[in-house]
Amino acid sequence: MEEEEFFRLLTPQSLVQIDERIAEEKAFKKAEKQAHEEGEEEELAAHEEEEPKPNPKFEAGKKLPLSLKDLFPVEYTSKPLEDFDEFYDTQKTFVVVGKDMTIYRFSATNAVYLLSPFNPLRRGALYVLICLSVRVLQG
C-alpha cells in the first residue's frame, strides 16, 4: 500500500466523505430495521456481522506500527490526517501523528460549536498540545 493511499491529510472534502458514509450507514440500518419489522429475519441473519472493533495497532496513545513508520511522510508530522483505522470510517474523527510517532485521535466536529478542524486557532492548539506532550514524555 502506498503512503498516499494510507496517509491522507484531512481536508474539507474528507469531512464531506465521512458525512456521506454516515448517511449510508444510517440508511442501511433503517432498511435493516424495516426488514426486521416486516419479518424478513432470514435476510437479516445473512447480513448480520460481528460488531467491528477498533484496530489495537492504531489505538490513541500508541506508537505508529513499525511496518508503517517507513511509509509515514515526515511532512505529515503534527498535521491532521484522515483516520486510518477502518473502525472510525463512519465517525467524525481524525488523527495526528506526533514527532515521536505517537497516534493522537480527535473529534472532527466543531469544537465549542465554533472551531472547525481547519480553524487556525484549533490547529495551533493541537500542535502545542502534541509538542508539549512529547516533551513531557521525554522528560
- Residue 72 pLDDT: 95
Residue 105 CB neighbours (<10 A): 17
Residues 77, 102: contact at Cβ < 8 Å?
no
What domain range is 32 assigned to?
3-138
- Residue 1 pLDDT: 45
SS3 helix, strand, coil % of the chain, rounded to 5?
50, 15, 35
- Residue 127 pLDDT: 87
Q: Is the pTM of this model over 0.85?
A: no
Start-end of H helices in the chain? 3-6, 12-37, 41-47, 66-69, 120-138
- Residue 131 pLDDT: 83
**Looking at the chain, how many residues does it have?**
139
Block mean pLDDT (10 aa), the chain, length 139:
73 95 93 78 55 92 93 93 94 94 94 90 90 71
Residues 64, 73: contact at Cβ < 8 Å?
no
- Residue 45 pLDDT: 52
Number of domains in the chain: 1
- Residue 57 pLDDT: 95
- Residue 61 pLDDT: 93
CA distance 107 to 82: 11
- Residue 139 pLDDT: 59
